Amino acid sequence: MPDLLEPSLTFAFEARVAVAPPLRIGRGEHEELWFCPITGGTVDGPRLSGVVLPHGGDWYTTRAGETELDARYLLRADDGTVIDIRNRGVWRADPAVEARADAGEPVDEREFYYRTSAQFSTDAPAHAWLTSTVVVGMARPEPGFVCIRFYALG
């Protein structure tokens, strides 16, 4: 068997996504559906810089101590290009850690699992790499923000 290629990650950018308080939509007995409006933010990094536009949000479902995330919003690159992002992921933490994060206390990233996988849409040649690259994220909560470091998978 030939040697298999090991995956590598290259830091692309960080999005600091400003969020409004979440709205509980409800659902079944064993899960809850929530919506968290996205109100703005910044994008900064070696591959992409710009702003998060105040459009879109994160629909997330919590069940059995785990949260499934499905966010869709818009970025505007410094060159004016608008980029659509759909970012799906998972949040998982011990209840005590989650309570500290919900209270706005600093929580070490090693105490929770908050990972995403993003898909982008744009027809701008300068940003075509986003549509043809698998991009994964490592997220962390901060008061009023979700901060996601995005990496290109090589």
Please, are residues 26 and 34 in contact by the beta-carbon 8 Å criterion? Answer: no
pLDDT at 38: 98
Which amino acid is it at 129?
A: W
Please, are residues 127 and 48 in contact by the beta-carbon 8 Å criterion? Answer: yes
Q: Is 2 part of any domain?
A: no
How far lies 121's CA from each of 42, 45, 75, 114, in Å?
18, 19, 10, 23
Q: Is 23 part of any domain?
A: yes
Using 50, 70 and 90 to split pLDDT, how confident is the model at 7? very high
pLDDT greater at residue 11 or residue 104: 11
Q: Is 4 part of any domain?
A: no
pLDDT digits (tens, 9 = 90+) for 115-126: 999 999 999 999
The mean pLDDT of 74-88, rounded to a whole number, is 98
Q: Is 138 part of any domain?
A: yes
Q: Is 57 part of any domain?
A: yes
Mean pLDDT for all residues in the chain: 95
Using 50, 70 and 90 to split pLDDT, how confident is the model at 29? confident
The answer, yes or no, to whether residue 1 has pLDDT greater than 80, is no
The mean pLDDT of 127-144, rounded to a whole number, is 96
Count of domains forming the chain: 1
Using 50, 70 and 90 to split pLDDT, how confident is the model at 28? confident
The CATH number given to whatever domain includes residue 81 is 2.40.160.20
- Domain of 143 in residue numbering reads as 9-153
Q: Is 133 part of any domain?
A: yes
The answer, yes or no, to whether residue 101 has pLDDT greater than 90, is no
Structure tokens at 51: 């702003």
pLDDT at 104: 81
Mapping DSSP onto H, E and C, the string for 3-43 reads CCCCCCEEEEEEEEEEECCCEECCCCCCEEEEEEEEEEEEE
Q: Is 3 part of any domain?
A: no
Please, are residues 52 and 13 in contact by the beta-carbon 8 Å criterion? Answer: no
pLDDT digits (tens, 9 = 90+) for 30-71: 899 999 999 999 999 999 999 999 999 999 999 988 999 999
Q: Is 144 part of any domain?
A: yes
